[in-house]
Amino acid sequence: HAKPDGPGMYAYFDSAMNRRVARTLLIHNELHSALHAGDLELYYQPQIRIATGKVVGFEALLRWHHATLGAIPPSEFIPIAEQSGIIVQVGEWVLRTAAQQAARWIAQGHQGFRIAVNISARQFVGQNLPELVGRILKETGIPPSALELEVTESLALHNVANTLATLHECKALGVHLAMDDFGTGYSSLSYLKRYPLDTLKIDQSFVRNIPHDLGDVAITRAIVAMAQSFGLSLVAEGVETPEQLAYLRELGCDDAQGYLFSPAVPAPQAERFFTEQQNTALPA
C-alpha cells in the first residue's frame, strides 16, 4: 500500500495545486486584458412564454473566446472574477452592453421583450448598483421594464439590510428582479416575503429529471406553488425536451428557457426569434 501521506503525495498535491493557482492567475490576468481589449461577448438565450410560444425575453450570457486558450466558460472565469473583484467592472460592461443591445432592438421596432442580466452578489457590496443601473437606463434610453436583474440566493450571505435596501432601490427604478437558480442556495426562504422579486427561475438541476424523478417533480411543484402564492412569475431553466415542457405547462409554469428552443446565440441570430416563433418545439 502506498502511504497516503508519503512525500510523493505532497509532491503530487503541490504540483496539482500549483497548476490550479497558475491557471487562476492566468485567467485573472487574461480577463483583465479581455475586458479592455473588447474580447468579451454577450450571447442571448430566448425565453419563451409556454402558453403562446412567443419570445418574451432573452438572458444575456457572457462568452469569452481567448486567442490561444480557446473558449473559457463562465463557470470557470466568473468565480475567479468574483474572487478578485474584477466582476464589478465585468458586470458593468455586461449591463451596459445588454442595455445597448435592447436599445438597438427597440430602435428596430421590437417591443415587449426583456433582457435579463446576471448580477453577482459582489456587485452589491460597496457598489452603488442602483446608481449604475439608473445611469445605464438614462444612457441607453431603454424603458426600465426592458431590463431584468437576475440575482442569486448567495446575496443573503452578505449584509442583509443593505442588500434589501439595494434591491428596493433597483425595483423603484422600474427594472424587474428575478431570483436565479432558485432552490439551490443555502439561504432561508423567508427572503421571499422581503425581497421585491418579480420572477423565480427554477434551476435546471430540478428541470433535468422531470417528470421521471419524483423528488425533482415534488420540488418543482412546490416552487410553482410558492411562486403562485407570492404572485411571482416563473421561468424554467434548462428545458431540453418536449416532455419536460409539456409537464411544466401542466404545472402552470409561465416561461421556459433551454436548448429545446435555443442555446445562447450572438445578437444577430437572436434577432430571428422576434419574427420566427418556435412553435414547432411546442406540443399541441
Binding footprint of ligand C2E on the chain (CB under 6 A): 45, 61-62, 73-75, 78, 91, 94, 118, 120, 180-181, 204, 237-240, 257-259, 263-264
Q: Residue 266 Cβ, how far from Mg ion at the closest point, in Å?
A: 18
Is the distance from CB of 117 to CB of 60 less than 8 angstroms? yes
Q: Give yes or no for residue 180 binding Mg ion (CB under 5 A).
A: yes
Q: Residue 196 Cβ, how far from ligand C2E at the closest point, in Å?
A: 20
Nearer to Mg ion, 163 or 257 (CB): 257
Q: Give yes or no for residue 181 binding Mg ion (CB under 5 A).
A: yes
- Gap between the Cα atoms of 198 and 92, Å rounded: 22
- DSSP string computed for 200-225: EEE-HHHHTTTTT-HHHHHHHHHHHH
Q: Residue 91 Cβ, how far from ligand C2E at the closest point, in Å?
A: 6
Q: What's the DSSP call for residue 238?
A: -
Among 118, 123, 140, 233, binds Mg ion (CB under 5 A): 118
Q: Give yes or no for residue 255 binding Mg ion (CB under 5 A).
A: no
Q: Give yes or no for residue 150 binding Mg ion (CB under 5 A).
A: yes
Name the closest residue to ligand C2E (Cβ).
258
Backbone φ and ψ for 8, nearest 5 degrees, come out as -60, -35
Q: Residue 18 Cβ, how far from Mg ion at the closest point, in Å?
A: 29
- Gap between the Cα atoms of 145 and 196, Å rounded: 15
Q: Residue 204 Cβ, how far from ligand C2E at the closest point, in Å?
A: 6
Any residues with CB less than 8 A from the CB of 179 and at least 6 apart, and which? 150, 151, 152, 153, 195, 197, 199, 200, 201
Amino acid 49 reads: R
- Residue 146's nearest CA partner among 154, 155, 138, 137 is 137
Nearer to ligand C2E, 43 or 217 (CB): 43
Q: Give yes or no for residue 82 binding Mg ion (CB under 5 A).
A: no
